[in-house]
């Protein structure tokens, strides 16, 4: 509720000051009182409320609930309504020269009219002319007609009744109401309030200064665009004039004066010049020296104004014109030479105009000298030219700024910042030419090409400029992104295909291309991206989203799991917080299954078991606050799964503490979750429950050994041996010492193990390999022979002894060993294959074919023999044997644990298959995790290959197979 108090009544308005603007308040008063909003004057105490400045709502002007405002409006007293005053010429307000009488030169006499004393015109501040008026005219004109007449006393009484003087000076802003509160008491409180409001007005005006200047600049640019100068309209035609030859220039006809004014004869009259005009001209051209009347009255001995005024009327006129031109120049815009004066914003411009002080002018001069010294002493320094040009721009000398930056471009043609500055300072028509010279000088500047594209107005020209830039800078990701944004979907796909070839290490281009491709092509694109960017998680996440979008939700979890393993192999640290953000992003994109898979595989990384429940609950709560409901639900689901499985295993071992498999399952779950200390604790509890369980001991050893804790593994095995461990414990102990390089301790453990378990062939084999590795071939032979006495059916020992005999004594000894082995172990394809290969290595192809025929008769269902038989026949006959790819695929399908089959299959695809087939075989081999095979075991069990992943072992086996094939081919030739 706000109260409005006027002369005869008080209005009540039901409004809210916090939501009502001053204009809305004026309209509400107009509806209730009938007073036009243009004639309303609102006052709060003694302060008038203005619109257009300051806060938006009247509450910001100090108006609150139940406030009382005073409404005043001009009472025109039956006179004609005041009209806005016309702009007065400046010389009407200037002080006239001494002894000047208006109209005296043309014989006029002074007179007074009603307009001279009425409220519609302001009285100029002119000096007293009583001393110079002629014929009593000055007496009549004293005070601009405000002398008392016959009815003046009645007017004064009427003015007292009205409360204001109707003939007072008219104010352009306040109208006739300027003196209404002239008699009111102005105390310290009003003074303080006015100071506060003045400070607020100044602050609000400063806050709006940038917006006002930006709006004015925008209006000026719009005006220039819609009203170009004649020179700009014909600029392109003028540029073409340089193509004209000298003859063409000479043939251009001279333009004559064809105006109508010169064709019509005008009546001219000659009138003698009056003497008064000649006298006036003479007076304007001469120096007038006169004494002041007061000084003349004192005999010329006093000069009240400090000196006798000497006035040159011509200089006064010229000075007035100079001042006027300076004011107009300050209001004009000089960015492009177009002078624009906004009549509506004239007063605002005057208020916001920055008055340059003498100190600022001096600072500009000093800065200009310093920068001039900089560009002269070091003309190849680009920042100096840029600073000098900007200084001239600030000083308002835009043409000088353009000249300076042009010289800077000539001195520093290889600096892109100078060209950018020159483009900014140039006019719109010249900017393209400037940037064209810039890109010609620096063809590999991305900034210049982007600026050149920005100057174009339509997308087609922008795309043309960007493609031209890509011809010079094909590896610029910024240019590729800009040109793709301007293209349609089909063109964008083609552009991105070229972009990923030029910028293969930028993941955004790969992902953008995958989004535009079909399902099958998108998978190929992501596979290529994964090869180039093996450490980029976004590719795996995008692949999971792709499968989910095509309905393959079962593959989503596998892709995320494989991706995390691959990233870990590449040394990428899995940041749990970053992956949670990716899960939330997947949820917002609608890929709920991808979100759940990310949470399932990463939520437990780096979280201790005792803090797991509290951490996961906090994570879920934070996701709910951010609106990620599916992410929170996935966290809760995983927490329930883990907690329930953990609780179930705990409960199971409580009721069945002697069940080894339950303890081992619990430890494995903790290990797979990355919580090695928890797995170690479970195995300790299992050992306490089952102290003599060898499986528990070996599980603890494997945990420590695989996590690179050899000392812990050695201690565990030592305790297991003390408690009477089996042959497996002794073998694992020797393996640990072999990896640590302790050959003496390894030999001691093998010897003690063979004394305890002489029929365990692996100990004999390890001891023989140790002696052979150290170069003691005779000792190795004795070890193999001793091992065959205890294990005559061990094919591996027979093969090791045959290989050693072949190295020591040649083919004959090896042939004898293999013959003895076949007698001890009939129908064994491995022994037959070893004999065939031994004959082939020494060039006895006929004997090898005979042995192969006998081998196939004895072992007709042996796959390795048939595969070797295929390799032995000439290449044209191989098609009659089988189709290699089909057979190899069948082999790895029936026996996925044989690593040699996978190596042969992968080698075949590398030679004859496509890239997709190669990746498919590699992926299937990693999933199968083969452990056996002739070549596979020899390489995987080597000391240098310990703890190597399946992929690395597969590639090493393929290399070994290639070397064997090369040596076989060379032996044939």
Q: Rg of the chain over CA atoms, in angstroms? A: 52
Other C-beta atoms closer than 10 Å to the C-beta of 80 total: 8
Sheet holding 68-72, edge to edge: 10-13, 2-5, 68-72, 41-44, 47-48
pLDDT at 132: 40
Kindly write down the DSSP assignment for every residue of 546-566, as one continuous string. Answer: HHHHTT-THHHHHHHHHHHHH
Other C-beta atoms closer than 10 Å to the C-beta of 91 total: 11
Exposed, middle or buried by CB within 10 Å (0-12, 13-18, 19+), for 316? middle
Kindly write down the DSSP assignment for every residue of 641-682, as one continuous string. Answer: HHHHHHHHHHHHHHH-TT-HHHHHHHHHHHHHTT-HHHHHHH
For the packed helices 899-912 and 915-928, what is the interaxial angle rounded to 10 degrees? 170
pLDDT at 737: 82
The closest alpha carbon to 427, from 240, 229, 237, belongs to 229
Kindly write down the DSSP assignment for every residue of 501-561, as one continuous string. Answer: HH-TT-HHHHHHHHHHS-HHHHHHHHHHHHHH-TT-HHHHHHHHHHHHHTT-THHHHHHHH
pLDDT at 595: 92
Query: In sequence order, which ranges of 882-914 are alpha helices (DSSP H)?
Result: 884-894, 899-912
pLDDT at 301: 44
pLDDT in tens, 177-200: 445 555 667 788 888 888 889 888
Kindly write down the DSSP assignment for every residue of 314-374, as one continuous string. Answer: HHHHHHHHHHHHHHHHHHS--SSS-----STTHHHHHHH-----HHHHHHHHHHHHHHHHH
Helix (H) or strand (E) holding 915: helix 915-928
pLDDT at 343: 42
Kindly write down the DSSP assignment for every residue of 279-317, as one continuous string. Answer: HHHHHHHSEEE---HHHHHTTT---TTSS--EEEHHHHH
pLDDT at 972: 57
**What is the 8-class DSSP label of residue 179?**
G
pLDDT at 514: 83
The closest alpha carbon to 950, from 906, 899, 915, belongs to 899
Does the pTM exceed 0.85?
A: no
**What is the 8-class DSSP label of residue 131?**
T
* Residue segments in the chain with a per-residue pLDDT below the cut of 50: 77-81, 120-164, 169, 173, 177-178, 288-289, 291-292, 294-296, 298-311, 332-355, 880-881
For the packed helices 629-655 and 576-588, what is the interaxial angle rounded to 10 degrees? 130
Distance (Å, whole) CA 892 – CA 902: 6
Distance (Å, whole) CA 312 – CA 386: 46
Query: Domain locations in the chain?
Result: 2-72, 535-641, 874-972
Distance (Å, whole) CA 873 – CA 880: 10
Phi-psi region of 74 (alpha: psi -120 to 50; beta: other; left: phi over 0): beta
Tell me the fold of 2-72.
Ubiquitin-like (UB roll) (3.10.20)
CB-based contacts of 735, cutoff 8 Å, min separation 6: none
Total residue length of the chain: 973
For the packed helices 592-602 and 576-588, what is the interaxial angle rounded to 10 degrees? 170
Q: How far is CA 669 from the centre of its chain?
A: 42
Residue matched to tokens 């795996």:
540
* Contact indicator for 675, 646 with CB cutoff of 8 Å: no
Other C-beta atoms closer than 10 Å to the C-beta of 135 total: 9
Backbone angles phi, psi at 548, to 5 degrees: -65, -40
190, β-bridge pairs: none
């Amino acid at each position: 509720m706000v109260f409005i108090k006027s002369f005869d009544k008080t209005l009540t308005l039901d409004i809210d000051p916090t939501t009502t603007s001053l204009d809305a308040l004026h309209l509400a008063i107009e509806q209730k009182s009938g007073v036009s909003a243009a004639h309303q004057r609102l006052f709060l105490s003694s302060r008038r409320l203005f619109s257009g400045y300051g806060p938006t709502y009247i509450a910001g002007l100090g108006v609150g609930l139940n406030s009382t405002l005073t409404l005043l409006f001009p009472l025109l007293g039956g006179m004609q309504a005041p009209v806005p005053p016309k702009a007065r010429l400046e010389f009407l307000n200037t002080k006239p020269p001494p002894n000047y009488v208006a109209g005296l030169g043309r014989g006029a006499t002074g007179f007074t009219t009603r307009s001279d004393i009425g409220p519609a015109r302001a009285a100029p501040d002119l000096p007293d002319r009583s001393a110079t008026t002629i014929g009593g005219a000055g007496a009549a004109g004293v005070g601009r007609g405000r002398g008392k007449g016959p009815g003046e006393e009645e007017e004064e009484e009427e003015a007292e009744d009205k409360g204001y003087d109707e003939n007072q000076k008219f104010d352009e802003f306040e109208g006739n109401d300027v003196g209404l509160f002239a008699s009111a008491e102005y105390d310290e409180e009003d003074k303080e309030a006015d100071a506060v409001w003045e400070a607020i007005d100044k602050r609000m005006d400063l806050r709006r200064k940038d917006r006002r200047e930006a709006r004015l600049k925008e209006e000026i640019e719009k005006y220039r665009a819609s009203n170009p100068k004649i020179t700009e309209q014909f600029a392109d035609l003028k540029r073409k004039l340089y193509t004209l030859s000298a003859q063409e220039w000479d043939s251009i006809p001279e333009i004559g004066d064809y105006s109508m004014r010169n064709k019509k004869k005008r009546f001219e009259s000659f009138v003698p010049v009056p003497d008064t005009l000649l006298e006036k001209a003479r007076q304007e051209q001469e120096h007038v020296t006169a004494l002041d009347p007061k000084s003349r009255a004192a005999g010329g001995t006093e000069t009240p104004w400090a000196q006798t005024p000497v006035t040159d009327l011509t200089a006064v006129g010229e000075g007035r014109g100079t001042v006027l031109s300076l004011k107009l120049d300050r209001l004009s815009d000089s960015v492009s030479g177009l002078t624009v004066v906004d009549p509506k914003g004239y007063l605002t411009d005057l208020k916001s105009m920055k008055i340059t002080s003498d100190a600022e002018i001096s600072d500009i001069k000093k800065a200009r000298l310093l920068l001039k010294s900089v560009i002269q002493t070091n003309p190849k320094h680009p920042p100096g030219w840029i600073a000098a040009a900007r200084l001239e721009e600030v000083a308002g000398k835009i043409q000088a700024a353009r000249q300076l930056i042009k010289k800077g471009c000539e001195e520093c043609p290889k600096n892109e910042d100078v060209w950018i500055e020159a483009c900014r300072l140039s006019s719109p028509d010249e900017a393209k030419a400037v940037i064209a010279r810039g890109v010609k000088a620096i063809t590999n500047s991305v900034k210049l090409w982007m600026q050149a594209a920005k100057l174009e107005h339509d997308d087609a020209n922008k795309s043309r400029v960007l493609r031209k830039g890509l011809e010079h800078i094909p590896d610029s990701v910024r240019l590729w992104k800009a040109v793709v944004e301007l293209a349609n979907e089909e063109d964008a796909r083609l552009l991105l295909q070229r972009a990923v070839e030029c910028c293969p290490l930028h993941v955004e281009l790969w992902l953008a291309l995958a989004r535009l491709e079909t399902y099958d092509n998108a998978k190929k694109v992501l596979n290529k991206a994964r090869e180039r960017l093996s450490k980029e998680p976004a590719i795996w996440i995008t692949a999971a989203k792709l499968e989910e979008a095509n309905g393959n939700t079962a593959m989503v979890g596998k892709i995320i799991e494989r991706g995390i393993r691959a990233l870990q192999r590449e040394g990428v640290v899995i940041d749990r917080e970053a992956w949670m953000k990716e899960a939330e992003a997947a949820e917002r994109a609608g890929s709920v299954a991808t979100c759940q898979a990310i949470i399932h595989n990463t939520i437990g990384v780096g979280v201790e078991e005792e803090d797991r429940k509290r951490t996961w609950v906090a994570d879920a709560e934070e996701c709910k606050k951010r609106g990620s409901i599916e992410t929170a639900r996935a966290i809760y689901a995983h927490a329930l799964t883990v907690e329930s499985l953990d609780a179930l295993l705990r409960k199971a071992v409580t009721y069945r503490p002697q069940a080894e498999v339950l303890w081992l399952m619990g430890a494995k779950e903790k290990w797979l979750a990355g919580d090695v200390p928890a797995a170690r604790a479970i195995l300790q509890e299992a050992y306490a429950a089952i102290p003599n369980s060898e499986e528990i001991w070996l599980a603890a050893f494997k945990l420590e050994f695989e996590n690179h804790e050899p000392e812990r593994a050695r201690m565990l095995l030592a305790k297991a041996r003390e408690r009477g461990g089996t042959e497996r414990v002794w073998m694992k102990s020797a393996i640990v010492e072999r990896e640590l390089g302790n050959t003496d301790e390894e030999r001691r453990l093998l010897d003690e193990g063979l004394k305890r378990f002489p029929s365990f062939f692996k100990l004999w084999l390890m001891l023989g390999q140790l002696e052979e590795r150290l170069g003691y071939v005779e000792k190795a032979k004795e070890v193999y022979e001793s091992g065959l006495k205890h294990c005559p059916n061990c094919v591996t020992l027979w093969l090791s002894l045959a290989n050693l005999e072949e190295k020591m004594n040649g083919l004959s000894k090896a042939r004898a060993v293999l013959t003895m082995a076949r007698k001890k172990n009939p129908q064994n394809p491995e022994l037959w294959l070893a004999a065939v290969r031994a004959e082939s290595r020494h060039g006895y192809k006929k004997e090898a074919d005979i042995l192969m025929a006998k081998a196939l008769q004895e072992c007709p269902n042996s796959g390795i023999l048939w595969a070797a038989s295929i390799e032995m026949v000439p290449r044209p006959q191989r098609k009659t044997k089988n189709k290699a790819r089909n057979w190899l695929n069948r082999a790895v399908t029936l026996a996925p644990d044989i690593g040699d089959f996978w190596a042969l299959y992968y080698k075949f695809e590398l030679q004859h298959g496509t890239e997709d087939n190669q990746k498919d075989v590699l992926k299937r081999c990693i999933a199968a995790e083969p452990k056996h095979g002739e070549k596979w075991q020899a390489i995987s069990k080597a000391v240098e290959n310990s703890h190597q992943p399946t992929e690395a072992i597969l590639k090493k086996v393929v290399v070994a197979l290639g070397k064997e094939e090369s040596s076989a081919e060379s032996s044939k030739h």
